[in-house]
Structure 1
Amino acid sequence: MAKINFGGVVEEVVTREEFPLAKAREVLKNETIAVIGYGVQGPGQSLNMRDNGFNVIVGQRKPSKSWDHAVQDGFKEGENLFEIEEALRRGTIICYLLSDAGQIALWPTVSKHLTEGKTLYFSHGFGITYKEQTGIIPPKNIDVILVAPKGSGTSLRRLFLDGQGLNSSFAVFQNASGKAREKAVAMGIGVGSGYLFETDFKKEVYSDLTGERGTLMGAIQGIFEAQYNILRKRGHTPSEAFNETVEELTQSLMPLVAENGMDWMYANCSTTAQRGALDWRHKFRDAVAPVFEELYESVATGKEAERTIKLNSQPDYRVKLDQELKELRESEMWQAGLKVRELRPKK
């Protein structure tokens, strides 16, 4: 593992240079990797592993939209596409990539096929960490590992096709074979990770739930709404409010941050913008810090897991979700965003 200094804190990470694809293939050459679920992470991970030369099969309900999606992606029924129980029977590494609620519902079926010597693979620590609530308790005679790409399956696939990689965490929960860690790293390379950093199942789910509810999705949308609404209230047009709130951030500034960091982005903005950003960042940090404390505590105590399981397991969950997303989509801010995106110059 490579030792990297992260601002004074030294971490060990795994890169493609020290653990190349050829080594990953060698580690997993006798494995049949069965991907159960073809929704958010399933397509990206399956296709990347298939393109990287691994023996991948997909298990999915038939008929379903996800089955049809797998067929469109080139998986063939009876060859590398099977109904779920058949894929579970054939697989030696079971990639459990259903939603958290889906994992709970299917667990009685999956657990029957977790015979000695198999490996159970997750991309999220939820089911294991909150096992008292999920009932997901694997047998002791199998390996249980995790590789969690830091982004959506769509991004994982897109970056792979561009010759890049999405960074991932990896972890080992059970090491029955003595080779679980090596398998986890090999899987991480196989799915197209940029580099891999080690964690454990609990830390992965705590950071993931905090991030999703925080800066990655929940907090950023809340901040967008607050600023957009203030600008509209003070007489600015929808176009101006959206451009100053979202469009400039996503299209201009965040790419600069991604390239070289926040200080570099500041250095490439006007002196007026620099001064204001440096002055006001402390106010925003101090204002939201108590909210993040509350959020992390809710994650750590299992309250977020309890709410997620309760609501996502209801039979009308999809209907309610679609309504919430419809309200978001049809809000003035995101309708303005739709128009702004249409006005972007075409490539």
Structure 2
Amino acid sequence: MAVMNFGGVNENVVTREEFPLEKAREILKNEVIAIIGYGVQGPGQSMNLRDNGFNVIVGQRKDSKTWDKAVADGWVPGQTLFEIEEACQRATIIQYLLSDAAQIAVWPLVKKHLTAGKALYFSHGFAITYKERTNIIPPADVDVILVAPKGSGTSLRRMFLQGRGLNSSYAIFQDATGHAYERVVSLGIGVGSGYLFETTFQREVYSDLTGERGTLMGAIQGIFAAQYDVLRAHGHTPSEAFNETIEELTQSLMPLVAENGMDWMYANCSTTAQRGALDWWKPFRDAAKPVFEKLYAEVACGNEAQRSIDSNSQTDYRVKLEEELAAMRNSEMWQAGAVVRKLRPENN
């Protein structure tokens, strides 16, 4: 573990140079890793572990679309693909990667196979942080650990295949064996992390829920819609409004920010853009900060968690979800986006 300075604050991080893949494989050579759930994180993490030489099996409900997806990805029924309970029984490390609502439903089945010395692994701090609401309380004689890639399972897999890594946080909630640190870091390296930074289950879920509802998804969609609507109301065409709101940001500017930071991107734009951006970013910050404060408070008190549990547990959740996504997809802004994407040079 190394101590790195981030903007004047020291943090514990683990890099692939100091903790190479060979070391991770040696530590976990006698472990059987069961991936429970093959939805968002399951495919990327399981295939990366498999390609990195770990002993991995998948547990999934039979006769489901995700079972069929696992078979299509090369998992073999009866050899590396099993029903959830059998996978849990065979495993020494259970990677619990079902959705938060599904984790609650399946927990009684998983818990009975958490015998002494096993490890229970999460990629989200939700179940443990809100255990009074989820009733997910692990036995005292198992390790409880977390590796949370900072991105989707799809991104994790794509970056792995490109020879890159997606940064992840790691945490230890319970060290029953004395080997939780070696296990969690080895798994973090195994799933394809670029580097690992230390957190807690609580900090992970608080930051994650805030980020998803904020700049990662919720706030950014809201800002997109607000600017697009203003441009359209003032007579700009759908193409112009979409290009100035989203296309230029995602295709031109954000890659520059990712490579060198916001100041570098500002420095390499026109002087007119520089001046305007520097003048206006603080008013936007000041307008948005109260919303973020309210959001964080809702996350910290558990209201956001309860809303998620209540909503995602409904039998018609998927139907309602598709209705909401269809409304977004069919909005003028994203219909314009579909046309713009088709006109990109790589698609012609």
TM-score (normalised: structure 2): 0.99
Shift of 1:118: 0.7
2-structure distance, mates of 1:11, 1:172 = 16
1:255 shift after superposition: 0.1
Look up the match of 2:74.
Answer: 74
Tell me the distance in 2 between the aligned counterparts of 1:296 and 1:183.
31
Partner of 1:152: 152
Match of 1:261 in 2: 261
Corresponding residue number in structure 1 for 2:105 = 105
Deviation at 1:346, TM superposition (A): 1.9
Q: Which amino acid is the alignment partner of residue 56 of structure 1?
A: V
Q: Which amino acid aligns with 2:254?
A: M
Alpha-carbon distance in structure 2 between the residues aligned to 1:36 and 1:208? 21
- Cα offset, 1:70, TM superposition: 0.6
What residue number does 2:284 align with? 284
Q: CA deviation at 1:3?
A: 2.1
Q: Within the alignment, does 1:133 sit opposite 2:133 as a pair?
A: yes
- Structure 2: distance between partners of 1:135 and 1:11: 32
> Counterparts of 1:270 and 1:323 in 2: how far apart (Å)?
42
Q: CA deviation at 1:56?
A: 0.3
SS at match of 1:58: strand
Aligned-partner residue type, residue 47 of structure 1: M
Letter in 2 for 1:78: G
The yes-or-no answer on 1:96 pairing with 2:113 is no
Q: Which amino acid aligns with 2:145?
A: I
Aligned mates of 1:171, 1:307 — CA distance in 2: 25
C-alpha distance in 2 between matches for 1:259 and 1:346: 22
Q: Deviations over 1:162-212 (max 9, x none)?
A: 000000000001100001011000000000000000000000000000000
Counterpart amino acid of residue 300 in structure 1 = A
Distance 1:177 1:45 in 2: 24
Residue 2 of structure 1: aligned partner: 2
1:275 alignment counterpart: 275
Stretches of structure 1 lacking an aligned partner (at least 5 in a row):
none
Structure 2 counterparts to residues 117-196 of structure 1, below 5 A: 117-196=117-196
- Correspondence for 2:246: 246
Q: Distance in 1 between matches of 2:142 and 2:8?
A: 38
| Distance in 2 of aligned mates of 1:117 and 1:176 | 7
What is the rounded CA distance, in whole Å, between the counterparts of 2:214 and 2:130 in structure 1? 20
Letter of the aligned partner of 1:39 in structure 2? G
Question: Deviations 1:243-284 (Å, cap 9, x if unpaired)?
Answer: 000000000000000000000000110000000000000000
Counterpart Cα distance in 2 of 1:201 and 1:34: 21
Letter in 1 for 2:318: R
1:322 aligns with 2:322: yes
Which amino acid is 2:14 matched to?
Answer: V
Looking at structure 2, the residues matched to 286 and 160 of structure 1 have their Cα atoms a distance apart, in angstroms, of: 38
> 1:10, CA displacement in angstroms?
1.6
State which drifts further: 204-213 or 8-17: 8-17
Residue 15 of structure 1 corresponds to: 15
Name the SS for the 2:225 alignment partner.
helix
**Structure 1 position 297, deviation (Å):** 0.3
Q: Are 1:86 and 2:116 counterparts?
A: no
Task: Give 1:199's aligned residue.
Answer: 199
Output the CA distance in 1 between the equivalents of 2:309 and 2:114. Answer: 24
Over aligned residue pairs, what C-alpha RMSD do you find? 0.6
Q: 1:228-248, CA deviations, whole angstroms, 9 ceiling, x for partnerless residues?
A: 000000000000000000000
Equivalent-residue separation in structure 1 for 2:324 and 2:190 (angstroms)? 36
Query: Partner of 2:215 in structure 1?
Result: 215
State the match for 2:56 in structure 1. Answer: 56
**Whole-angstrom CA distance in 1 between matches of 2:303 and 2:190:** 34
The Cα offsets for residues 148-169 of structure 1, whole Å up to 9 and x where unpaired, read as 0000000000000000000000
CA-CA distance at 1:8 after TM superposition: 1.1
Task: Give the AA of the match of 2:291.
Answer: V
Aligned partner of residue 94 in structure 2, secondary structure: strand
Distance 1:173 1:56 in 2: 23
For residue 39 of structure 2, give the secondary structure of its aligned residue in structure 1. Answer: coil
Cα deviation for residue 7 of structure 1 reads 1.3
Q: Counterparts of 1:330 and 1:116 in 2: how far apart (Å)?
A: 52
Letter in 2 for 1:262: M
Q: Distance in 2 between matches of 1:213 and 1:84?
A: 31
Which secondary structure does the structure 2 equivalent of 1:163 belong to? coil
Look up the SS of the partner of 1:170 in the other structure.
strand
Q: Which amino acid aligns with 1:75?
A: W
Identity, % of aligned pairs?
Answer: 76
CA distance in 1, matches of 2:109, 2:4: 42
